[in-house]
Amino acid sequence: MTTKAQRSATLTVTNPSRRTVIQSADGQGVLIQFDVMRTIKPEANTAAVTILNLSQRTRDTISDVTSSVAALTPAQREAMREYAAMKGKAIDTSPVETVYDNLGIAYLKLEAGYQGGRLAQILEGSSSKITHTHVRNTWRSEIFIGDAQEVLRDAYLGRSYKRGTPVVTIISDLANAFGAVLSSPAQALIANKLSTFPEAQVALGGAFIAHGPAFALMQEWMRILDIDWTMQDGELLLLSKNPLEASATLPDPPLAVSQVSGMIGRPRRLEGGGVELVTLLEPEAKPGRRCALTSRYITGSYRIEQVRHSGDTRSGPWYSTMELSSLEVL
Q: Please indicate whether residue 297 or residue 205 has the higher confidence score (pLDDT).
A: 297
**30 and 142 share one domain:** yes
Establish if 32 belongs to a structural domain.
Answer: yes
**272 and 215 share one domain:** no
Establish if 198 belongs to a structural domain.
Answer: yes
**176 and 268 share one domain:** no
Q: Please indicate whether residue 98 or residue 235 has the higher confidence score (pLDDT).
A: 235
Establish if 237 belongs to a structural domain.
Answer: no
Q: What are the angstrom distances between the C-alpha of 92 and each of 79, 88, 95, 147?
A: 12, 13, 9, 48
Whole-model pTM?
0.84
* H and E: helices and strands count for the chain: 6, 20
| CA–CA separation, 290 and 50 (whole Å) | 31
Q: What are the angstrom distances between the C-alpha of 227 and each of 86, 100, 187, 277, 307?
A: 78, 45, 12, 25, 20
Establish if 186 belongs to a structural domain.
Answer: yes
Q: Indicate which CATH number applies to the domain containing 281.
A: 2.30.300.10
Mean pLDDT on 16-44: 92
**46 and 173 share one domain:** no
| C-beta contacts of 166-174 below 8 A and 24+ residues apart | 166/202, 166/203, 167/194, 167/201, 167/202, 167/203, 167/204, 167/221, 168/194, 170/204, 170/208, 170/210, 170/221, 171/218, 171/221, 173/210, 174/210, 174/214, 174/217, 174/218, 174/221
| CA–CA separation, 289 and 303 (whole Å) | 6
Q: What are the angstrom distances between the C-alpha of 95 and each of 65, 74, 84?
A: 19, 12, 17
Residue 129 — pLDDT band, cuts 50, 70, 90?
A: confident
Residue 72 has pLDDT above 90, yes or no: no
Number of domains in the chain: 3
**51 and 127 share one domain:** yes
> Which residue type is seen at 275?
V
**183 and 57 share one domain:** no
Residue 42, domain extent: 7-64+102-147+249-326
**181 and 74 share one domain:** no
Residue 69 — pLDDT band, cuts 50, 70, 90?
A: very low
Establish if 244 belongs to a structural domain.
Answer: no
